[in-house]
């Protein structure tokens, strides 16, 4: 077994054992530990949430005093705690109003591990991911409170720096990060943004 496969298998088994819906949970756990993105009592918007592993991690952190709203075109099974699921398409303009109605107040963090339907062509898939990220960033501008945080998955590409520049116009601190649970050869990268203007 290749090292990358071993790593994938390790986090897959760990997720099964610890009752997370996907191995991606460990990416958020590591990033949150490093950058302190989510805290108890936070209102969290999880974009492209299916199957719900990031929402699970967020619910563990926000506790009973917080709230997690998950949004996806694919269904997410209910989770215990202050949680709501919204079946909606992030690409549609009407979705932002649905999100606003579903949140108790402005969000403390908007997070996204979303990825579009992939074609297998790297540059094209990276471009599609950036388009989705821009839609989520536009939602973030409207529903994230001042000093709030943002995290999204992206892929290394020639256009990524342009997107990061857009994020820098909205947040005081912006970084790129690749958690250990990511496969080394994968071009995926996470954009961490803190302290919204």
- Summary mean pLDDT of the chain: 93
The class level of CATH for 24-196 reads alpha beta
Query: Which is more confidently placed, 179 or 121?
Result: 179
Q: Any bridge partners for residue 194, and if so which?
A: 173
Sign of CA dihedral 102, 32, 21, 126: positive
What distance, in Å, lies between the first and last C-alpha atoms of the chain?
47
pLDDT interval class at 186 (50, 70, 90): confident
Q: Does 3 score more than 60 pLDDT? A: no
What is residue 144's predicted lDDT score, i.e. its pLDDT? Answer: 98
Q: Does 7 score more than 70 pLDDT? A: no
* Beta-sheet pairing, 144-155 with 83-87: unpaired
What is residue 2's predicted lDDT score, i.e. its pLDDT? Answer: 61
| Residue 153 appears among annotated catalytic residues | yes
Question: Looking at 27, 135, 153, 196, which residue is catalytic?
Answer: 153
CA distance 197 to 190: 20
Domain residue limits, the chain: 24-196
pLDDT in tens, 51-100: 999 999 999 999 999 999 999 999 999 999 999 999 999 999 999 999 99
What tokens appear for 87 in the block? 């079946």
CA distance 136 to 110: 8
CA distance 50 to 74: 6
The DSSP code for 31 is H
């Amino acid at each position: 077994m290749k090292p990358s496969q071993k790593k994938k298998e390790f986090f897959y088994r760990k997720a099964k054992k610890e009752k997370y819906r996907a191995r991606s949970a460990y990416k958020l756990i590591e990033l949150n530990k490093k950058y302190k993105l989510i805290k108890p009592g936070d209102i969290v918007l999880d974009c492209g949430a299916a199957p719900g592993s990031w929402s699970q991690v967020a619910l563990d952190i926000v506790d009973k005093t917080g709230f997690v709203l998950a949004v996806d075109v694919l269904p997410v099974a209910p989770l215990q705690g202050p949680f709501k699921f919204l079946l909606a398409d992030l690409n549609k303009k009407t979705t932002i109003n649905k999100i606003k109605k579903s949140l108790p107040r402005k969000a403390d963090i908007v997070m996204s591990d979303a990825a579009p339907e992939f074609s297998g062509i790297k540059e094209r898939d990276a471009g599609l991911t950036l388009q989705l990220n821009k839609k989520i960033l536009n939602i973030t501008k409207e529903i994230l409170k001042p000093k709030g945080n943002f995290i999204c998955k992206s892929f290394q590409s020639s256009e990524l720096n342009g997107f990061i520049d857009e994020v820098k116009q909205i947040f005081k601190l912006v970084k790129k990060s690749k958690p250990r649970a990511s496969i080394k050869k994968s071009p995926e990268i996470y954009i961490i943004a803190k302290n919204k203007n």
